[in-house]
Amino acid sequence: MFSKDIASKHKSKLLHMRLFVILVISAALFSGCTKKPQADWIIFGGTIYTVEKAQPVVEAVAVKGDTILAVGTLAAVNEFRGKDTRLVDLKGRTMTPGFIEGHGHIMGLGYNELNLDLLEVTSYDELIEKVREAVAKAKPGQWILGRGWHQDKWETKPARMYKGFPAHQELSKVSPDNPVFLRHASGHAGFANAKAMQLAGVNQLSKERMLEIGNEGGEIIKDDLGNPTGIFNERAMTLIADEIPEATAASDSLALQLAMDACARNGITGFQDAGASRENIDLFYQFKNAHQLKTRLYVMLTGFDRPMVYEWFKKGPDIDPNHFLTIRSVKLNCDGALGSRGAWLLEPYTDRPDFYGMATYPMDTVLKISRMALKVGFQVCSHAIGDRANREILNRYEQAFQEAPAFKDHRFRIEHAQHLHPTDIPRFAQLGVIPAMQANHLSSDRPWAIERLGEKRIKEGAYMWQSLLKTGARIVNGTDVPVEPINPLASFYASISRKTLKGSPAGGYEPDEKMTRMQALRSYTLDAAYGAFEDKIKGSIVPGKLADFVVFDQDIMQIEEDKILATQVMMTMLGGKIIFEKK
């Protein structure tokens, strides 16, 4: 009996063990057969550039919610297809990550849609005619506002010029009763008519006030008799701007909406706004809270409002977990532009040998803000175009870094970095400073910039993209809209060709400094995201990142160079939603 009981118990134990093993194996098999998550979208049928070295081109992408679910072959991605999955057949077109505007002014873009757009004006006479047409539609006394003119891009110039700029008489003649203020394309100068100057009391300015303006980093251009010509350079623009009625909440909202529409049409899913005011930021939050943002905004606080900067430093960055509105950087405007001869140079202007440009922000304040920013987790982005401005900023950054060696991943930037002394080029990579450079400035400026700087300085230090990349720097690309049109393909074209948008010269200006196509694409996607601490969530097509894409009708990585500017955006997707589709 005893042995039978033992045997019976042994059999029972073996049976239980077998059942346990069967259950474990069944669970493993069941786990292996679990359905993969169902994609909301599967995109296929074209060339998809991921901007990832491990898998640079793929056949298909699966999207779930706002996130990339899978990339790879169509067969592999099809495993995520379900009965509700929507399919997008690219029909031979090309898809890349959504483009990121690395340096622009989103409210300026919007207001360019509302006011006079002078970017395409080719002469002073054409500018006058546009103002004449605007006056005919305006109410008595209404301000006529515009932006985009650039005297060095005009095909014909007026006979009467002062320090390279036109005078106001013709402008005043067509608008005697309506004040006019037209901002230069660079944003660093403005053109006022007599009525606007009368309202600002400019004609009655004392010599002491003129001197004060100069000390503040501004200049009123005068004629041979000492009369104001209507040109206000740098900080002097505030004399006129302070008289312009403030924008309304309704016009601001409309401008932001128009700007986002323009971004979507151009394949731009992210926008790094270079210098926002309190009012801008309040508006951005209103749109975010109402779920109306359809462009991801990375916002730089304007350094001109120092109390606002210090308030934000006290409360710390606001990094949006949904990645629509992040505020963690500050923009310091440290010099002017080459077009207005406000860029701060180590040697005088070739075409104005008595003038070096000017600093428009105190260098001791740059150092102070850099020190504070490192401690509170803010990024500093300093506008510097001239070689002296770039050197001075690099010096201040370096001092701040040496004083705070624990803060390694600061990603401080220099916005534009347009003209560098050769010895300063390697310092960007050495210090970990990011050059945010807008390649389309070469297309627009290079033909006349040589007049400002001379051949030696142009060849050794202007628009030095490849030289910076070879040292290990990561370039953030963009357009500086509304200084230039928002179209990113213009900057992409300039990056790889170093030509004007009319295709000259044949081999490009200083061709050794061209970017490769992949470098140019990275500068508008992954490296642009890096410049905003966002390279882990966007900028390339890889599982886990945001589903932000742009689809082009041509393969910009393969087509002939001269076809790039004719390429069209066919679709823009933001967070798994189609926000633009060309019909």
Pairing state of beta strands 325-333 and 86-89? unpaired
Compute the residue count for the chain: 583
Residues 6+ apart with CB under 8 A from 8: none
Averaged pLDDT for residues 403-413: 95
Mean pLDDT, the chain, as a whole number? 92
Say which residue, 139 or 213, is predicted with more confidence. Answer: 139
Question: Out of 119-123, 279-283, 365-369, which region has the weakest mean confidence (pLDDT)?
Answer: 119-123
pLDDT at 352: 94
Question: 51 in the Ramachandran plot: left (φ > 0), alpha (ψ -120 to 50) or beta?
Answer: left
Residues 6+ apart with CB under 8 A from 205: 220
The domains of the chain are located at 35-98+539-583, 107-241
Amino acid identity for residue 513 in this structure:
E
Pick the closest to residue 197 from 175, 165, 224, 218 (CA basis).
Answer: 175
Is residue 538 predicted with pLDDT exceeding 70? yes
Q: Could you give the percent of the chain with pLDDT greater than 90?
A: 82
pLDDT at 29: 35
Question: Out of 332-341, 560-569, 573-582, which region has the weakest mean confidence (pLDDT)?
Answer: 332-341
Is residue 563 predicted with pLDDT exceeding 60? yes
Residue 390 contacts residue 420 (beta carbons within 8 Å): yes
Is residue 2 predicted with pLDDT exceeding 60? no
Tell me the per-residue pLDDT of 345-372, one tens digit each, with 9 for 90 and over. 999 999 999 999 999 999 999 999 999 9
Averaged pLDDT for residues 120-130: 94
CATH (one of 3.40.50.1980, 3.40.50.300, 3.10.310.70, 3.20.20.150) for 107-241: 3.10.310.70
Tell me the per-residue pLDDT of 288-317, one tens digit each, with 9 for 90 and over. 999 999 999 999 999 999 999 999 999 999
Tell me the CATH class for 35-98+539-583. Answer: mainly beta
Query: CA–CA distance from 411 to each of 264, 401, 434, 464 (Å)?
Result: 27, 11, 6, 20
Q: Do the first three CATH levels of 35-98+539-583 and 107-241 match, i.e. the same topology?
A: no
Residue 386 contacts residue 419 (beta carbons within 8 Å): yes
Is residue 287 predicted with pLDDT exceeding 90? yes
Q: What is the pTM of this model?
A: 0.83
What CA–CA distance (Å, rounded) separates 537 from 171? 50
What CA–CA distance (Å, rounded) separates 24 from 425? 63
Burial of 502 (0-12, 13-18, 19+ CB in 10 A): exposed
Pick the closest to residue 355 from 369, 342, 373 (CA basis).
Answer: 342
Q: Rg (Cα) of the chain, in Å, rounded?
A: 28
Tell me the per-residue pLDDT of 161-208, one tens digit each, with 9 for 90 and over. 999 999 999 999 999 999 999 999 888 899 999 999 999 988 756 555
Tell me the per-residue pLDDT of 433-457, one tens digit each, with 9 for 90 and over. 999 999 999 999 999 999 999 999 9
Pick the closest to residue 572 from 99, 57, 102 (CA basis).
Answer: 99
pLDDT at 4: 38
Amino acid identity for residue 336 in this structure:
G
Averaged pLDDT for residues 510-539: 98
pLDDT at 22: 35
